[in-house]
Amino acid sequence: MTSRIDLDAADTPDTFQPRQHRPSRAAQARPADWNALDDDLAADQRWSTWPGIEKSMRGPLPYPEFVIEDAGAVDTELGVLKTGKEADVFLIERATAGRRSILAAKRYRPPDQRAFHRSTIYTEGRTIRRTRDARALKNGSTYGRQVEATQWAAAEWSYLVQAHDAGIPVPYPVQIDGTEILMEFIEDPDRAGSAAPRLHQMRPDQTLLDSYYTQLIEAMRGFAALGYAHGDLSPYNILAAGPRLVVIDLPQLVDLAVNPLGADLLARDCRNVCTWFAARGIDQDPEELLGELLAAAWP
Ligand SMILES: Nc1ncnc2c1ncn2[C@@H]1O[C@H](COP(=O)(O)OP(=O)(O)O)[C@@H](O)[C@H]1O
Ligand SMILES: [Mg+2]
């Protein structure tokens, strides 16, 4: 996969248009060995990875309408949505004859390619079951770094599935394949093909602001009811898809019952949220919100 349209969804939301959909290879038969490299595919294409993904590594049933299951589908990389600290988010088109859908692919990088490491405060209390993996992680081998990237991806996958099942507004998790998560692309309803802007860029009117606030508190209550704090909640990890808020970036979710710093991390989430809304005239005491969420975690 070569073509890189480097853009930051937050800074240049209106400049991005996905490439024109070229006549799809999908109408042709897929090679019998679905892993085979196919000369007909362009450098930024691959056969859909869906057929090779175990059922348990696919999103919850029922699959939304945009999930294409066709084994003859082709994935085309349309560009980089955002390069991040430990993961890059790509825009992927999955297309078959007559159907196409756009997905977001979040790919975790091995830690040696990261700008900095997500602190271990988040993983406190999580156990690594396979001793070989635990040893590799400890001694920092190449294999160990790969294991770490895979584990962050697996963690985010699991939290996306749990949150989705609990009705919390997160992108629908389509599939996980090692270090790559494919998920619903949260689109800006006013600009087809563009990612929804992050909350921090929004200047909502009073009615929309009130609705955003209600939605966000409801989402935080949802996480708390599952026993979690988001752990990195801020207007940068919330997308505003028109009237709808969607919470993203879940790998560091914190188990409130297990992590000794859980309440502190939840308090920080509350402060981040309250500060943004307070600057726009909605006053909510972060301590009060924290109390309410802790009560929701232990009803
Ligand atoms: N499902 C998605 N739909 C649309 N844009 C997304 C999606 N997931 C991530 N993005 C974009 O990519 C950026 C980085 O994703 P995020 O999950 O926050 O990773 P990071 O750990 O790099 O912050 C987001 O701020 C958002 O602009
Ligand atoms: Mg983020």
pLDDT digits (tens, 9 = 90+) for 124-164: 667 666 777 777 777 667 777 788 899 999 999 999 999 99
Give the environment of ion ligand 2: residues with CB less than 5 A: 237, 249
Q: Whose CA is nearest to atom 14 of ligand 1?
A: 82
pLDDT digits (tens, 9 = 90+) for 253-283: 999 999 999 999 999 999 999 999 999 999 9
Band (204; pLDDT cuts 50, 70, 90): very high
CA-8 nearest atom, ligand 1:
27
**What letter does residue 200 receive in the DSSP assignment?**
G
- Helical ranges in the chain per DSSP H: 131-139, 142-165, 206-225, 262-278, 286-297
Question: What is the whole-number distance in angstroms between the Cα of residue 247 and the centre of ligand 2?
Answer: 10
The answer to whether the CB of 222 falls within 8 A of the CB of 167 is yes
Q: Which ligand approaches the C-alpha of residue 156 most closely?
A: 1
What is the pLDDT, as a whole number, of residue 134?
Answer: 75
Q: Give 81-115 pLDDT, tens digit per residue.
A: 999 878 999 999 999 988 999 999 999 988 666 55
Distance CA 144, CA 140 (A): 5
295 φ, ψ to 5°?
A: -65, -35
**120 vs 175 pLDDT, higher one:** 175
pTM value is 0.85
Question: 266: CA distance to ligand 1 center in Å?
Answer: 21
Contacts of 169 (CB under 8 A, 6+ apart): 215, 219, 244, 245, 246, 247
Among 11, 170, 239, 246, which is best to mutate for testing ligand 1, by the most ligand atoms less than 8 A from CB?
239
For ligand 1, the distance from its centroid to the CA atom of residue 86, given in whole angstroms, is: 11
pLDDT more than 70, % of the chain: 81
d(C-alpha 126, C-alpha 123), whole Å: 5
Please give the backbone phi and psi of residue 183, each rounded to the nearest 5 degrees, phi first.
Answer: -140, 170
- Within a 13 Å sphere around the CA of 108, how many CA atoms are in the beta-carbon half? 26
